[in-house]
Structures are given as structure tokens and as C-alpha cells.
Amino acid sequence: MDVKTYPEFTTHYPLLIKACLKRPLTQYPDDIAIVYRNDAGQYFRFTWRQWHERTCQLAHALKKLGVQTGGAFQPGDRVATMALNHHRHMENIYATTCTGAVSHPINMRLSMDHMAYTITHAEDKVIFIDDSILPLLEALYDRIKSKVEAFVYMSDKPGLPKTKVQPLYDYEELIKDQPKTYDWPDFSEDTYAVLYYTTGTTGLPKGVMYTHRQVLLQTLYSAAAMSMRVRLPDDPLPPNVAVPMVNVPLFHIHAWGAPFHLVFSAARMVFPGRFMPQSFCELVQNEKVNSAGLVPTMLAMLLEYPDVNKYDLSSLKQIGIGGGALPLGLKLKAEKLFPSMRAGSGYGMTETLAGVIAASIKRNMVDWPQEKLDQIMVKTGTPSAAIDARVVDENAKDVPHDNQTIGEIVLRGHWIMEQYFKEPERTATSWRDGWFHTGDAAKVDEDGYIIIADRITDVIRSGSEMVPTVLLENLTCGADFVLEATYVGVPDDIWGEVPMAMVKLVPGTTNKEEDVLTYLQAEGVDKGKITKWMLPVYVLFTDDIPRTSVGKYDKIAIRKRLKEYMSKAKRVRKAGS
């Protein structure tokens, strides 16, 4: 007798983002889901039930706007956002992805040319825009109006502004009469959910799409990894309710995947709008925030904030650093300011959806002295669960675990990007021999920890040797008088390139350029961390260190102004000496 089975609801049941959306609604419908403070200081609070109802209303509105869904490896319409971090942005992400369309957060810190390119290349059908960002859209409008069919205006104030941007809809008016329930559909888990663009530092930005399967697997593995984290003897127990502050912009890989893993875990999400030290401190104090994601620049801004000690920040237990290496000196300065907090680093990129390598303590290390543990937590780390990561030489062979030999990080795994959107040639350059080549230079230590050395293109080549700038940056930031530091190669007739340090001093310090050299000699050369020929030949004290849209040091912008910077820099030693 033939028995009817239903594999579509068991073995073939699709992995969809709506699984994240449903969990807090069934478990904690009346708990606070989102706390949003706007730039004017107004607070908005939504329970999971309220936020879900608004998301359902937006899903109906998207349908009325003509947004079409996709299928397996066939992208639906792209719904873009030009917005800060707030509840409407989160509603948009879920209403878009859970109906089968594609969420595209536009990086508003790109150049005008690159923003226009990403919008037209993505073929965005609808753009949701914050009131404060409308002037930027107006400047772009003539370049994109033939491609985008509708614009939706998001504001905490009622009404629409006078603008040339048309057709323009008011967000709250658009959703207010829509039903508060929605029958979230089933579809192939290989339906594309999100589209991100790289920052375009080496050419035009590249688009990367990820499927529901990839996003949900990354979310689930991240949750599993958190439960397996090794605890130190004095570590506090994890809180029953996580209260993270989402400072990383949602346009940056959706804030490293925050909308998905935070909703899945039913965390109480705190959104500050724009990041400012004062609002950060007020929100930590008032909302008892216990974790935050920051880029190194944000952490440095907090250290510079003169009123930081006026606030009770004792609830803050964890800071995750991404978007750039975490120098040991910056970590120690931050933990001195926030004694109950611990900072750690990780590694990811647009092409990896979220972090794929992270610093963590191993079981055999729990009794190590704090100094050694601090050094572990600023290493890039070990591969995340379900990610294969190697560091290979030019012949695709693994480099020795000697903490010296530099190679390139290569990856593969469930949520490593499959291909660049509409870019087969660039895809072929990155995927070789079954591995995704990141372009990031690294070494591996004796314990198996990967340590980022540089972008392959940023390594300083002095004579026949390679000078890894990240190593020098991290070491320099250990000085008490240094707040931030970066290194670039400058031309030299004999050596080809020699290192120049660009240093931002801690406010109030009166150190000289030679003090950088003295510190690096004592803490670097004399202790065997670097060799003498790696020492900077030039040192520039400056508050003007260019950064990319995601907070990394912008080496391309620095090189474009190299003559200007060199004219202000001081030569502190003779090259080769």
C-alpha cells in the first residue's frame, strides 16, 4: 500500500528566516523587543507582538506597491533602505525577506558615484528613506529616478516634505490601514533574502546575495557557538535577557547579522540611531545594556569622551569589535575605563555574511594569567563553527604554525558567498580550487590562532621583506599616549618602500614623534615581536586619518594624499639602519 508522506514538512522543510520571526512571538509576545531613541532624545518601545503586527502591515503594503517575490536562485524584487538603526528598518528587513523579496541596505557612506552604482546595479524597485537622509537621496535622485519605482519616507513626525522625489509615500500612512496579521509563505530555502555591496575600495562595489538557508544556518550556528563558549572562573553567568545595543549600521551586512540572531534569541534590542558617545552612555545607563558591537573607531571615541565617567556603565559586560583589528592597547584602555567589561575581536567581510573567525579562550587556558588571556582575545581567532579556514602560501599549501610565515586566508562553508551578483569574472578571481580567496594576509601561531597581518594589497614591501601593517598598528596602540595608529608604505629610492606611522595621540599628551620609535624599540624589537627594519622611518601626528565607510583605515585615500602627509611627517630614523 502506498502511503502518502510529506517530506516538504519534514526532511525537506525549508530553512527560512521566518523561523526567527516566529520564535519570540510564541515565547515572549509581551516582552519589550525594541527600544529606539532618536536623535531628538525621544524613546519608542515595542513589544514583540506590536513589532510583529507592524511588520505584517508592512508586508501587505509591499504587496500593494507591487513588490514581487523570487524563487530558488531567482531573486525577487530588491527593496532598499537608506536608513539609520531603528524599528522601521527592522520591520522592513523582515517584511521584505519573509515575503520572498530581497532586502538591500544601501551603504550611505559610499561616494555619490558608488551609491548611484549600487542602486542601479541592484535594480532596486523601492527605496525606504529616513527623513534626515532625504537631502542625500535628493542629490542622487536624477541619477536613479528612471530605475526606482517608489520611495517611502520614514519619520517620527507626521506628513510628507516638499521634495522632487516622486512618487513618495509616508511610511505610517502606508501601513496604518493594513491587516495586522500575515500568512507568511513557504518557499524554497534557496530563495535569495539579502543583498550587500562591498565598500569598493579597489574598484566598483561588488554585490553579494545570500539565501534564506545561508542566513538561517549562520544564525543557528552562531547561537550554538555562544552556548559552547568557555567560561573563565570569574565570568558572570549569562543574563536571562540579553540587552544588546546595535551600534554598527544596519547597512553594514545588516550590522553583522544582528536582525537575525537577536530576533531569534528574543533579545531586547536597543537602537541609538546615530552613534554618539553621549547617547551611548545614556542608553547603557538607562536601559542596562549588557553587550554592544563596535568598530575600533567607536571605542576610541568613547575613550576620548570627557564625561564618560559620569555614567553608570557597570551593566556592560561584553564588547565585540569588528570592522578592523582590535589593538591590545585599545582593549586594555577600554577595560580600564569599563572594569566589568571584556572586549574581543573577530573577522568577517561582506563576502562571508558575518563573522567567520573569532577570538575565544580554549579549555586549557582557563587558568592562564590575565595578561596572556588578553593577548589571546586580540588575535583574529579560530574558525567559527561549520567554517573551514586556512592560511595558505602562493602554492596553496598551509603555512606553518610558527607565528611568522605570512599567507592568505581562504575559506569555505555554508554562508561563504557563492558568487558576486552579475559579476562572473570577479567571481572567478576569488573562487579558486574550491576555496574563496579573501585577499587578507595572515599568519598562524602555535595554538592554531589566525592573526591578520594585512590586506595583501596593503603589505609594505621593503627590500625583499614584507612589513605587516596590522602588527605595527596593534603594537603602537599599546603606548599609553597613542589612541589610534595606522601605517602605510612611502617611496624610498633604495628600499622601494619604508613604513610611515600615522598616529592620533591621547588628548592632553605632549609626546614627541621620537617617543613612538622608542616605544616600539622597547616593546617590539627588544621583546622579539618585530624586527628592527620594521620600525617606522617617518612618524606623523595627526587627527586626520581617513577611514572607509565601515570604519577601517582607508589606505587608498591615504596614498592619494601621500605627498601632503609626508610633508608634515617627521623622519625619525635612517632607512635600513
Nearest residue to 200 via CA among 209, 192, 208: 208
Q: Which positions ≥6 away from 491 have C-beta within 8 Å?
A: 497
User: In this predicted structure, what is the pLDDT of residue 271?
Assistant: 96
C-alpha 552/C-alpha 555 separation (Å) is: 9
C-alpha 496/C-alpha 494 separation (Å) is: 6
CA dihedral 545, 330, 570, 512 (to 10 degrees): 130
Query: 270 pairs with which residues across the strands?
Result: 35, 245
Taking residues 440-468, report their average pLDDT: 78
> Residue 382 pLDDT > 60, yes or no?
yes
> Residue 410 pLDDT > 60, yes or no?
yes
Nearest residue to 322 via CA among 502, 86, 552, 482: 552
Nearest residue to 78 via CA among 420, 421, 550: 421
Taking residues 99-107, report their average pLDDT: 97
User: In this predicted structure, what is the pLDDT of residue 200?
Assistant: 62
C-alpha 319/C-alpha 520 separation (Å) is: 27
% pLDDT > 90, the chain: 66
Between β-strands 450-455 and 431-432, what pairing exists: parallel, antiparallel or unpaired?
A: unpaired
Q: What is the mean pLDDT of the chain?
A: 91
Which residue in the block uniquely carries the three cell numbers 594585512? Answer: 454
Q: What is the three-class DSSP state of 292?
A: strand
Q: Which three cell numbers stand for residue 272?
A: 541609538
> Residue 330 pLDDT > 90, yes or no?
no
User: In this predicted structure, what is the pLDDT of residue 321?
Assistant: 79
Residue 191 Cα to chain centre, angstroms? 24
- Helices 87-97 and 253-264, packing angle to 10 deg: 80
C-alpha 201/C-alpha 110 separation (Å) is: 10
Q: Which three cell numbers stand for residue 428?
A: 572567478
Q: What confidence tier does 139 reach under pLDDT thresholds 50, 70, 90?
A: very high
Query: pLDDT: is 106 or 453 the higher one?
Result: 106
Between β-strands 355-358 and 538-541, what pairing exists: parallel, antiparallel or unpaired?
A: unpaired
Give the pLDDT confidence of 27-65 residue by residue, as tens digits.
999 999 999 999 889 999 999 999 999 999 999 999 999
Residue 125 has a CB neighbour count (10 Å cut-off) of 22
User: In this predicted structure, what is the pLDDT of residue 576?
Assistant: 67
User: In this predicted structure, what is the pLDDT of residue 277?
Assistant: 93
> Residue 493 pLDDT > 80, yes or no?
no
Dihedral of alpha carbons 195, 198, 199, 205, sign: negative
Full 3-state SS string of 93-116 = HHHHHCCCCEEEECCCCCCHHHHH
Task: Answer for the pair 205, 117: CB distance below 8 angstroms, yes or no.
Answer: yes
Task: Answer for the pair 391, 409: CB distance below 8 angstroms, yes or no.
Answer: yes
Count Cα neighbours of 302 within 13 Å in the Cβ-side half-sphere: 27
Q: Which positions ≥6 away from 137 have C-beta within 8 Å?
A: 82, 127, 129, 151, 165
Which residue in the block uniquely carries the three cell numbers 530588491? Answer: 78
Give the pLDDT confidence of 228-244 residue by residue, as tens digits.
889 888 887 888 999 99
Q: Which 8-state DSSP code applies to residue 553?
A: B
Asked if the peptide bond before residue 135 counts as cis, ω within 30 degrees of 0, the response is: no
Q: What confidence tier does 331 reach under pLDDT thresholds 50, 70, 90?
A: confident
Which residue in the block uniquely carries the three cell numbers 500568512? Answer: 183
Q: Which three cell numbers stand for residue 213?
A: 538557508
Task: Answer for the pair 198, 351: CB distance below 8 angstroms, yes or no.
Answer: yes
User: In this predicted structure, what is the pLDDT of residue 221?
Assistant: 93
Count Cα neighbours of 571 within 13 Å in the Cβ-side half-sphere: 8
Give the Å distances, CA to CA, from 434 to 391, 392, 431: 14, 13, 6
Give the Å distances, CA to CA, from 15 to 20, 75, 100, 574: 10, 17, 13, 60
> Residue 387 pLDDT > 80, yes or no?
yes
Query: pLDDT: is 135 or 341 the higher one?
Result: 135
Give the pLDDT confidence of 351-376 residue by residue, as tens digits.
999 889 999 999 999 999 999 999 99
Q: Which positions ≥6 away from 441 have C-beta within 8 Å?
A: 406, 407, 408, 409, 452, 453, 454, 455, 456, 459, 466, 468
- 315-330 burial, b if ≥16 CB within 10 A, otherwise e? bbbbbbbbbbbbbbbb
Q: Which three cell numbers stand for residue 434?
A: 574550491
Give the pLDDT confidence of 144-164 residue by residue, as tens digits.
999 999 999 999 999 999 999
C-alpha 79/C-alpha 100 separation (Å) is: 11
Domains delineated in the chain:
1-274 (3.40.50.12780), 460-571 (3.30.300.30)
Task: Answer for the pair 515, 481: CB distance below 8 angstroms, yes or no.
Answer: yes
Rank 3-17, 207-221, 238-252 by mean pLDDT and report only the highest.
Answer: 207-221
Nearest residue to 356 via CA among 214, 514, 211, 178: 214
> Residue 443 pLDDT > 70, yes or no?
yes
Q: What is the three-class DSSP state of 430?
A: helix
% pLDDT > 70, the chain: 96
Q: Which three cell numbers stand for residue 210?
A: 545570500
Give the pLDDT confidence of 192-206 residue by residue, as tens digits.
999 999 876 557 889
Count Cα neighbours of 466 within 13 Å in the Cβ-side half-sphere: 17
Dihedral of alpha carbons 406, 396, 207, 76, sign: negative
Count Cα neighbours of 214 within 13 Å in the Cβ-side half-sphere: 26
Residue type, 423: E
